[in-house]
Amino acid sequence: MKKNILTIMLATTVMFVASASYASGNKTAIGAKGYTVYSVIDGRESTTAYNKKGHWLYTIQRYSIDNLDKNIIDKVRSVYDNYGVTSIQKIEQPGMDAVYVVHLENTKSIKLVRLTRDDMELVQDFNKQ
């Protein structure tokens, strides 16, 4: 038990020291299964989760309208050219390629598109009424 607490404390300390130099607004939530760090990095909201032993599980970055990734927008607009991009989430997990969830909207519908390195998939399509 002491070893687990020390591991969590050490991992949290290392994480705060490493992230403090380039992140702002850090907040940490510690739970039974691990802990989650909320921060803002380069103007993007970021959520990173770690297990009880301090191993990284995932990171989700939320891009706002003013800091959207131009390359991602260009790929999506090549298929959905009459839609505006309202936001993007980038999801990273160990051993996997990044996945982007792109929110699109026009006057008739709202779409969620999942984009990976070599694939684009329409996940949800909502009609406006």
Structure confidence by residue, pLDDT tens digits, 48-100: 999 988 899 999 999 876 777 788 888 888 899 999 888 889 999 999 999 99
Q: Among residues 100, 12, 5, which one has the least CA distance to residue 59?
A: 100
β-bridge partners, 24: 40
More confident residue, 123 or 12: 123
Task: Give phi and psi for 28, each to the nearest 5.
Answer: -125, 135
- How many of the other CB atoms lie within 10 Å of CB of 93? 14
Show the tokens assigned to 11: 């991992």
The class (CATH top level) of 64-129 is alpha beta
Per-domain boundaries in the chain? 1-62, 64-129
Average pLDDT over residues 26-55: 82
pLDDT number for residue 6 = 43
pLDDT number for residue 11 = 47
pLDDT tens for each residue of 100-122: 999 999 999 999 999 988 889 99
pLDDT number for residue 120 = 92
pLDDT tens for each residue of 8-24: 444 444 444 444 444 45
Q: Give the predicted TM-score (pTM) of the model.
A: 0.72
Show the tokens assigned to 34: 């691990």
